[in-house]
Amino acid sequence: MVKQRKNRDLITRQNVTPAQIKRLTKKALKNSFKNTPSKGCVYLKDLPIGSLFQIESGPTRGVLISCEHDAYVIITKSENSEELGKKYISSNTSVKEITKV
């Protein structure tokens, strides 16, 4: 009986006015999530076509072929030999551009 009373006390309803809802949604849209790559890295979508890159999280290297919605790349070096070849990966992948070949 005591447990039911505690649960009932925890569930309280508050009236929310339309003005409060409007204010909260405006604040949420204003303070939206802003994603940026790590220091020294760029997004794959920001690289010019034909550039060499290395994925930040591992030893995977490749060449950018095209980038529309997703990036079409050729993976040239990877830990797994299964990952080599042409692949589609996210254009928001954080990579380091390789200037020296």
Q: Strand 70-77 and strand 61-67: pairing? A: antiparallel
Answer whether residue 23 is part of any domain: no
- Residue 36 located in a structural domain: no
Is 61 contained in some domain? Answer: yes
Is 16 within the bounds of a domain?
no
As for how many domains the chain has, the answer is 1
What is the span of the domain harbouring residue 57? 42-98
Residue 53, domain member (yes or no): yes
Closest CA to 56 of 99, 97, 100: 97
User: Confidence class of residue 95 from pLDDT cuts 50, 70 and 90?
Assistant: very high
Cα gap 48→45, rounded to integer Å: 8
pLDDT tier for residue 12 given thresholds of 50, 70 and 90: low
Q: Which residue has tokens 């009986």?
A: 1
pTM higher than the cut 0.75: no
> Among 11-20, 45-54, 84-93, where is mean pLDDT lowest?
11-20
28-81 pLDDT, tens digit per residue, is: 888 777 788 888 899 998 899 999 999 888 888 999 999 988 999 999 998 888
The DSSP result for 5-61, as a single string, is HHHHHH-------HHHHHHHHHHHHHT-----PPTT-EEGGGSPTT-EEEETTSS-E
Q: Kindly report the CATH number assigned to the domain that includes residue 63.
A: 2.30.30
| Residue 80 located in a structural domain | yes
